[in-house]
Structures are given as structure tokens and as C-alpha cells.
Chain A
Amino acid sequence: MGYKPTIVDLLRLNREDTSRREFLKMVALVGGALVAPGVLEIACTPAQAPTSGGAPGAMTPKKGGVLVYGAEAEINPLYSDYGLTWSNGRVSRHIFEPLMESDILSSADVSPTVGVLAEKWTESPDAKVTTWTLRKGVKFHDGAPFNAEAVKYNIEREFDKSHPFYHAKAWGSQRQRFGFIDKVEVVDEYTVRMTQKQPYVNFVLLMRGYGVTSPEAIKKYGNDELHRYPLGTGPFKLEEFKAGDRVVMVKNKDYWGKEPWLDKIIFRPMGEPAVRVVSLKSGDIDFSVNLPPDTYADFGKDARFDVIQKAYGHVWFVRFNSKNPPFNDRRVRIAATMAVNKDALIRDILKNTGVKAIAPFGPGTDAYDPDLKEIYPYNPTKAKELLRDAGFPNGFETTVYFPPSGSGMMAGQPMVEFIQRNLAEVGIRVKMVPQEWNTYVQKYYEGLTPDVGLTNMSHGTDSGTNVSRLYHTRQQPPNGPNPGWYSNAEVDRVLDQADQEPDFEKRRSLWKQANRLIAEDAADIYVAHDTLPRVMNRKIHDYVAPAQGSFVFFNAWLDQ
């Protein structure tokens, strides 16, 4: 495995080719959960398909070939938690496997929860102990055996400060994930028991997506060097990581599961969207995501490409400052919501690369309610009436903080400008204050000051646990990401009830109920759900678009 890109290498004639911000989509790091029914497959751009090259299995797959993927961002170090960012997850999930996950190989609207490295898991009735039965005959890429000791060693590294390789620089969210654990015990070689400090019904959901690294690699390379040697159990192994240039993976011939068809996948970081467009058309890359919205129609007409869209739990919204006037008045929040022509915004600004949002949690999330209809449809006349009733016959002035761009922020500034124009039409005069991303994130977490009425954010999460994380009163700053100081006693009551409900389906009903209550209370202007448009060369077959922000090429094969 090579790492250093050097001119010397490149100058060597006939060199054997062996082969790149985000603060990060607000991913469902905490609370990976079962993906809910109703994930939309969008039928709005010229061509789309849930899988590529016709129905899976319709043609005879061919072995071999190299797939080149144009990544929209620099590829961060490949740690075992593939959920760190969606874009990095698309890379690292090829190497690392979790105990269980929402099936990343399912194109179904409901990604079923499947065991990957765990064959099964059982929870104790008091919701304190989870026992995992592990898959046998699995080896890490360095040959080390996968077993209960390996799982224990990995998880203790995340929360136990006495662990020789305690990962102090891991994300805080990791500690939240593992903060629930009191101890991890090896029952036998393939059985591991996790005991929580206190009963928590969502613990198993928190474990979803946590990839396991070879303990031998942790010991050998330590915290400082481990990211250079990502050694998991997945169907692909890292061959080369040249920061800023390429990440090359080759097929793991010793993989415990179904052998991949592809020989090699090359991930090329290409931050400039226009260059990814050209590279697709010139054949330099075979697959890419997040291209300029006005290019999809062109790709759709081109017989060489498929355009695929699928909602995955993302939502783009404008949050109100619910604590301070004027948006502490529900009528004003509803008026602002009814002033925004979401259909026109999605058509004109997003070029149909998203679907209309009517509640905080939409398609692809546990809290999604397919029966929920739009509560406050576009109606500027009604909006003006509501403002008059609330004591603002001549409207008012307010301020919106927003990041002009950022991960998951879709078209960003043009979307905020569109909403500004819509709000001005009913008398709400919005002063736009763009913020550089890092500054913005800090302000977001510190909460909106009384002079700021609106802020724009997006999050991509499928877990019902995030309803509580984003809307519960206890999550107001500085405790959590509830910057609009939203507080609704009824919502809190339902969410607290969900946190005590051991039955998952009943819990999901409560999350749906909270989702509806929040939408009715108009905590935010819900605008659009991203559908992660991706363009791929039709020589790729059997690519599966799961109802998730990450995806893999395990089953994909190429015409050669």
C-alpha cells in the first residue's frame, strides 16, 4: 500500500499504476435506525432508475474491470465509523463492515435492518443488556480473526480512557454513541455482551453502522497512523491512498461473503462540479454525485448515462427563532411558511433535484408519515391575513443567518434569496447575513440571538432518535442543536414517552406523532428533501441506490 505521491514515482516510465468539507452533513451518527417505509424514488428528471442497467440480474454479470468514481469532496482519513460523513462513508463502507445496519444493498423503500458481522442480537427486557452473536469464519484484511475480542477491543477504545489506544480525537458523537456503555464482555469467541449504564431502548439503533477495525492494526499502527492502514473485513481492500488525488481499492479475494464483480474501484476527489460534469462526458470518470442542477436534464437525454435520484432522510429548512418576537407567535410562523412557494423553488432553483418537504422528517426516516398531507400550503393571501391578525399589518423586518454553501446545503444562497423574495411579498423584509461555514456552525450551536429571526440548515438523518435531538426543549443551546429555542410541552411529552417505549413499532408511531406536532406548530419552514442526484455511465450495471446517503458498489459490474 503506497501513500506518498511523489514526482519521482510519476517520472518513472512504465510505472505500474496502483493507484480526495465538510462539517459534515448532520448525519445520523447517533441513532442509526431502521429506515422507514415510503422512501421516494423520484420521477421528475428525464431519466432515473433505482438500479442501473436494467433490473438486477437481467444480464449476466461480468467479472473484472475498474470503476472510477468522481467524489465531490476530499476524502478524509478512512476510519472504521463509515457514518462520519455521507461522502466519506461511500468510500469507507467498502472496507469496513458494521455489526448491523440498514441494508445498504437494498433498493427497497424500507431498507431492512440486517446483520452484517453479527448474525443476530438480543436485548434484555430491562433494555440494559444486548447480546450479539457474531459471524464465524471472518478475517480482517491483515489476516487477523474477527471475533468477540476484536469487537470488545474496538468499542472499548471509543469510551474507556484506560484503553491503550483510547481515541481521544474521535468525534464527540462517538462518545455519545458509546457513552451508554458500562462494559463489554466476551461471552465466548463469537458472542459479545454489552451492558448499558442505564436502560435505553434505542441502544441497538445507536450501534448501527459502527465498523470494526482489525485490533492488530490498532496495536501495530496506533492512533496516529491507523488512518493510513484502514484494515476492516469488507469486500474491498485499500491499495493506495494519495491524498488529493485518488483512493484505490481492490477486491478482497478472501471476503467471507459474495465476491464482488469489480477488480478495482478508484475514488477521485474532484471538488469542482463543472469538472466532474466534463469528466463524466469525456469518460475519465464513470460515476458522480451532486452535479450542477441544470446539467441533469442534459445527462438525461444522453444515451450514455443514467440519472438516479432517491430521497434519503435529508431535509433543507429555515428555522424560526421561536423564543423571541415576532416568530414566538405561531401565527407569524405559519404565515411565513404559507408565503413560500416551495413548488416553484424546487422547479426553478433546484431543477427538480429534490422533493417538497412538509414536515421535519420526510421520506427515508423513522418518523416519516406517508399519510401526512401538506398542512400549510402556499397561500400568500392567507399569510397576509395571519400577519394582520398577529399585529403585523405592515409586516416587519428580520434577519436570516445562513451559510452560502456547505455540505447538504443544496443550492444554498439562491434558495435563501428565493425565500427572501417570497417573504417580502407578504411584508416580511428579511436582511440576509451570509456566514462562513465555521462561523455559522458556531453561531448555530450558540442559538439565535433575539435580533435574528431565521436561520437556515439542513440535516440528513434516518433515525427517529433525532426528532428528540433536534426539537426537544432540553436540546436548546448550549445543550444541543435546537438553535431556534423550540419548545413545545406536548412534543416533549411524546418524545419522552418514545424514549421509554421498548417496542420499536410503537416507538415509531410516537416519533411520527411528534413529527406531525412539530409540523403543525411550524417550528421551521420545511422546504425540500434532497434526492442525491447521481449520474453514471450506462456501462455500470446493478448499482443499487439505497434509501441512505451512503451507497456501495458491491454488486456493480461493468461492460468491458
Chain B
Amino acid sequence: MTRYIIQRLLAAIPVLLGVSITVFIILHLVPGDIAYALAGPNATQEELAEVRRVWGLDQPIYLQYFTWLTRALRGDLGRSALQHDPVFTMIMDRFPNTFLLAIASLSISSIVGIFAGVISATRQYSLWDRLMMLLALFGNSMPSFWLGLVLIMIFALWLRVFPSGGMTDVRGAGGLLDLLHHLILPAVTLGTVSMAIVARLVRSTMLEVLRQDYIRTAKAKGLVDRVVVYRHALRNALLPVITVIGLQTGFLMGGAIIVETIFSWPGLGQMMYRAISSRDTPVVMGGVLLLATVFVFVNLVVDICYAFLDPRIKYSN
């Protein structure tokens, strides 16, 4: 297993290099010169040239990339052209906030999704099944920017039970309860799509497992339904679900862009949205590198989870 993990980690290096090269090239292929934005509206050609020189934009693209890479390997991801802070510091400041939001969303989507899927599968074609799948279809279809605004309108404006945005009450004393109070709406908005995907997948895999002989045997032996469903069926049904939840983790980290922007949540997504729209290359590069690392890591964790969930899966040479 250890050797497998090391191999996977080594395999991540070319993946991350490939991602960084691709993003760097895309950022430079897009038309538009950031020097104009950096120099300001009154800049002359000489001043534009000076700005390009100061920011290293006058170098050939491969040299710019090489400079970025050598610095990145030393932990220096450069400085934001807009915020003027070191990119590494910016990421470290915001990563915990996005991680918290992603974990909260993942928890909501996994728990509610699995529960809804089990209910649907065990009561196939019942009213509950139809209701759950209707909600799942709704959740899967609603764009997060729309859902977020609707939730804000209902819960922040009409019912006034949740705040409209931010991480804490700027007038209040803060604290854990205040944080949780601010976390619920963005977490639900972000987690809704994943919740719907998980619910539908759990339902279909559960239905498949529930028809298998060993389940019939378990029932024939007189085991109560709850034990059959949760101990024997769900565990086997979860394998493909784990894969999807793993993929959703990456999605939630990256997909937080819209939700964080709507809810003024000071996370990586909000930072990336601004960086992309302003062509803040160092921040985009740093952010994408982090997201790619998260994807690689989560996939590794998912593969390791398989071994624990299904004893038949072994990682060896």
C-alpha cells in the first residue's frame, strides 16, 4: 500500500506540471494585455513598456513560465497584480474558509443524499420515492447563482433567520455560532447539486444490490430490514458513491466560485473569480495549482477508501 501511495504521489508531478503549463498558455493566448490595466488610463507607450518590464511581461512566454516555475518550486508563487500580496499568503488566508465551506457542503450533500437515496430505493415507486427523486431532479437542475439568490430572498429577507452574506456579523462579536449561522445558506446552495447526484446514485446502486441473492438470503434468515439495508446492502452500494463524493469534493472546491461571490464568502473561489476576470495571472496560477493538487489528493484518498470498503480490492504490484 505504501509503495502504491508513493507511486501515485510521483505520478501527480507530471499531472500538476501539465496543468500549470496548460493554464499558463491559456492565460497568455487570451487576447488583452494586462499592462493596460496595470498602467492605468493615462499611460503612455513608454509607461506601458516600463510596466511590462517591471512585471516581466516583456519576456517570451516560455521564459515567463520558467521563471514562475522555478519560483513556485521554492514556494514563491509571486505577487498578485491587484492585491499586491504574495499569492501564497492569499491562498493560505482563504483556503481554510473555502475548505470549511466545501466540507460543510459535502457533509450536507452526503448525509442528506445517502439518506434520501436509501429511502427512495427501499420504498421504490412510493410517494416518498417520487418526492425524493423530484427534489433531486430539482436540485440537480437549479443553477447555484439562482438558488443562492432565492435562498437569500427567502431566509435573509423574508424570514430573516439567516444573514445575506459574509462569514461573520460585522457588527457582532463573532464566534462559532455566528460562523455556523453564516455558513448554512452558502453550504446548502453549494451542496444542493452534489446532494441530488448522490441521492440518485445511491437509489440506483441500492436497487441493484437489494435484488441480489445474498440480500434475499439475509432476509430469509430473518434479519430485520434495517440491518439488511444499512449493514449489508448500503456498504456494497456505497463503492461507486464514494467515487462520486470524491469527485464532488474537487467540484465543491472549484465550484465555490459562484457561491462565494454571491454570499461574499472570503474564500478561494471569490479570489479566483476576481483574478480570472482581471487577468491576475499569478493568482490564477496559484489557485489552479492548489485546486489541481486537491483533485489529485482526493482521488488518491478515494482509491485508498476502496480497499477499506471492499476487501477484494488490493493495491500491490
Contacts and interface: CB of A to CB of B under 8 A. Distances in A.
Contact of A15 (B36, B41, B175, B274): B175
A330 interface: no
Nearest to A75: B83
Given A5-B93, A5-B94, A242 B266 contact: yes
A437 to B, nearest CB: 7
Contact of B30 (A8, A77, A278, A439): A439
Nearest to A270: B264
Contacts of A481: 41-42
B37 interface: yes
Nearest to B39: A172
Interface string A77-102: 10000000000000000000000000
B36 A438 contact: yes
B71 to A, nearest CB: 15
B119 interface: no
A487 interface: no
B271 interface: yes
Nearest to A9: B174
A9 B174 CA distance: 9
A68 B264 CA distance: 14
Contacts of A282: 156-157, 160, 163-164
A224 B152 CA distance: 39
Contacts of B40: 24, 29, 171-174
B167 A442 contact: no
Contacts of A411: none
Contact of B96 (A7, A437, A445): A7
A23 B36 contact: yes
Interface string B28-44: 00111110111111111
Given A76-B82, A171-B40, A438-B279, A10 B47 contact: no
A363 B136 CA distance: 55
Interface string B41-66: 11111011011001100000000000
A19 B274 CA distance: 22
Contacts of B37: 23-24, 438, 441
Nearest to B262: A272
B42 A29 contact: yes
Contacts of A168: 50, 54
Contacts of A4: 89, 93
Of B89, B174, B279, most A-chain CB atoms within 10 Å = B174
B148 to A, nearest CB: 9
B84 A227 contact: yes
A14 interface: yes
Interface residues of B, number: 68
A68 B170 contact: yes
A8 B165 CA distance: 19
A15 B174 contact: yes
A6 B30 contact: no
A173 B44 CA distance: 8
B190 to A, nearest CB: 15
Interface string A506-526: 000000000000000000000
B94 A279 contact: no
A19 B84 contact: no
Contacts of B41: 23-24, 26-27, 29, 173, 459, 481
Interface string B10-42: 000000000000000000001111101111111
Contact of B32 (A224, A441, A480): A441
A546 to B, nearest CB: 22
B168 interface: yes
B112 interface: no
A139 B156 CA distance: 44
A77 B84 contact: yes
B262 A438 contact: no
B255 interface: no
Given A6-B96, A275-B164, A439-B30, A268 B42 contact: no
A289 to B, nearest CB: 16
B276 to A, nearest CB: 10
Nearest to A459: B41
A469 interface: yes
B149 interface: yes
Nearest to B86: A224
A274 to B, nearest CB: 5
B171 A17 contact: yes
B174 A439 contact: no
Nearest to B160: A282
Contacts of A5: 93-94, 97, 167, 266
Contacts of B106: none
Contacts of A30: 42
Interface in A277-309: 278-279, 281-282, 284
Given A14-B175, A172-B40, A282-B160, A438 B168 contact: no
Contacts of A266: 170-171
A275 B42 contact: no
Contacts of A271: 261, 264
B41 to A, nearest CB: 5
B263 interface: yes
Contacts of A14: 173-175
Interface in B252-303: 261-264, 266-267, 270-271, 274, 277-279
Interface in A394-437: 436-437
A244 B100 CA distance: 16
A371 interface: no
Contact of A6 (B47, B93, B169): B93
B266 A244 contact: yes
B264 A438 contact: no
Contact of B33 (A224, A243, A274, A438): A438
Contacts of B262: 272, 275
A142 interface: no
Given A7-B97, A245-B266, A478-B45, A275 B165 contact: yes
Interface in B133-166: 149, 152-153, 156-157, 160, 163-166
A126 interface: no
B26 to A, nearest CB: 13
Given A10-B167, A275-B165, A281-B157, A173 B43 contact: yes
Contacts of B152: 274-275, 278
Interface of A: 4-17, 19-21, 23-24, 26-27, 29-30, 66, 68, 74, 76-77, 168-169, 171-176, 224, 227-228, 242-246, 248, 266, 268-272, 274-275, 278-279, 281-282, 284, 436-442, 445, 459, 469, 478-481
Closest 6 CB pairs of A and B: A172-B43, A172-B47, A438-B32, A171-B40, A244-B266, A439-B32
14 contacts: A7-B100, A10-B178, A13-B175, A24-B37, A27-B41, A171-B38, A243-B90, A244-B271, A245-B166, A284-B156, A284-B166, A441-B37, A445-B36, A480-B42
Given A29-B42, A173-B39, 15 more contacts: A7-B97, A10-B175, A20-B270, A30-B42, A66-B170, A74-B82, A168-B50, A169-B54, A171-B38, A171-B40, A173-B41, A246-B170, A266-B170, A268-B170, A275-B264
